[in-house]
Amino acid sequence: MQKIGFVGFGSMGHPMARRLLEAGHEVHGYNRTKEKASDLLAQGLQWCDSPRAVAEAAEIVVSMVSDDSALEAVATGNDGILAGLDDGKLYVDMSTVSPDASRRLAKQAGEKGAKMLDAPVSGSVPQVEQGVLTIVVGGDEAAYEQVSSLLATWGTPHYIGPNGQGLLLKLAINISLAAQMLAFSEGVLLAERGGIEREKALEVMAGSAIGSPMLKARAKFLLELPEQSWFTLDLLHKDIRLALDSGRQQGTPLPSAHAADETLERAHEAGHGQRDIAALFKALTEMHG
């Protein structure tokens, strides 16, 4: 068992930290809002007053936050994770952020003698609770080997290449996530407005050749959206924007990402940004009267 630091107890970070505690690790943690960690504290989480204190207390530090600005806030500055790293320590950021931002932080970690991996995940709350996430990792391969058994606590890790490559592949995955959810919602709406009961359309479509695990899990949400989102529209929109930025840098055409970007923007403007990505269906019904 290792001393693990964990920063960020959001919808994904919270169950990830809980799995570490259940596995018997000594976990030191920080979250901007301490109340979100109350049940983790009851399970044995050792609270730290800053991300820096987490890094100082742990052998391996993990962060899971929402975007580039949130990562910057927890990783940099006098109280940030980087300030608490020293020679030989390992920092694993599992957030979905821009590859360029992650590479800059990895360079700063290296200057302190530490190593940083980007290890974003594919999957949402049910997958992390079951320990079946797909984890795509960029960075030093020896560092990956050092931490791969820990990553297996949450799912199946895959080494992709140098720093930033895990993030690039995660963005590539989320293009398909957005395109699938949008196309599925369009198809259900077309069927329903043609006189087919929505429930029947969902059952047949999700059970057909197009029924990916993600669509099968979310089909019921097109009947009734959950109060607690597995993955919000705004977070998916952020990822699509990051993918489009990478595409522009490469000169790679991303037509389905552009289509998703437009619809996600309209869904956000209609007030659905904090709903689960299945709210694309509701947004489409509103767009078309």
pLDDT > 70: what percent of the chain?
99
CATH at residue 45: 3.40.50.720
Residues paired with residue 220 on neighbouring β-strands, in sequence order: none
In angstroms, how far is CA 95 from the centroid of its own chain?
5
pLDDT of 289 over the 90 cut: no
pLDDT of 98 over the 70 cut: yes
CA–CA distance, 90 with 65 (Å, rounded to integer): 17
pLDDT > 90: what percent of the chain?
98
Decide: 76 and 104 in contact? Cβ < 8 Å: no
| Six-digit token string for 266 | 């309209």
CATH at residue 255: 1.10.1040.10
CA–CA distance, 220 with 12 (Å, rounded to integer): 21
Same domain, 123 and 105: yes
Residue 5: which H helix or E strand, with range? strand 3-7
36, 107, 115, 170: which one is catalytic? 170
Q: What is the mean pLDDT of residues 116-133?
A: 96
Active site includes 170? yes
What pTM was computed for the model? 0.95
At residue 1, the pLDDT reads 76
Q: What is the mean pLDDT of residues 65-92?
A: 97
Same domain, 134 and 194: no
pLDDT in tens, 27-39: 999 999 999 999 9
pLDDT in tens, 176-191: 999 999 999 999 999 9
List the domain range (segments joined by +) for residue 64: 3-161
Same domain, 221 and 122: no
Same domain, 219 and 112: no
Decide: 40 and 19 in contact? Cβ < 8 Å: no
Task: For 48-81, give the DSSP string.
Answer: -SSHHHHHHH-SEEEE--SSHHHHHHHHSSTTST
Domain termination residue (choose one: 135, 161, 187): 161
Into how many domains does the chain fold?
A: 2
CA–CA distance, 152 with 25 (Å, rounded to integer): 14
Same domain, 152 and 219: no
What dihedral do alpha carbons 195, 197, 202, 204 form, nearest 10°? -80
Numbers of helices and strands, H then E, in the chain:
13, 9
Same domain, 20 and 147: yes
Same domain, 71 and 135: yes
CA–CA distance, 235 with 233 (Å, rounded to integer): 5
Burial class (CB in 10 A: 0-12, 13-18, 19+), 265: middle
Same domain, 157 and 177: no
Same domain, 151 and 203: no
CA–CA distance, 218 with 90 (Å, rounded to integer): 36
At residue 288, the pLDDT reads 66
Same domain, 31 and 150: yes
Residues paired with residue 28 on neighbouring β-strands, in sequence order: 5, 46
pLDDT in tens, 254-280: 999 999 999 999 999 999 999 999 999
Q: Is the dihedral of CA 251, 252, 253, 259 positive or negative?
A: negative
Domain termination residue (choose one: 137, 161, 185): 161
Same domain, 37 and 133: yes
Domain termination residue (choose one: 161, 190, 209): 161
Same domain, 14 and 140: yes
Decide: 270 and 283 in contact? Cβ < 8 Å: yes
Confidence of residue 129 (pLDDT cuts 50, 70, 90): very high
At residue 199, the pLDDT reads 98
CA–CA distance, 242 with 160 (Å, rounded to integer): 19
CA–CA distance, 26 with 77 (Å, rounded to integer): 26
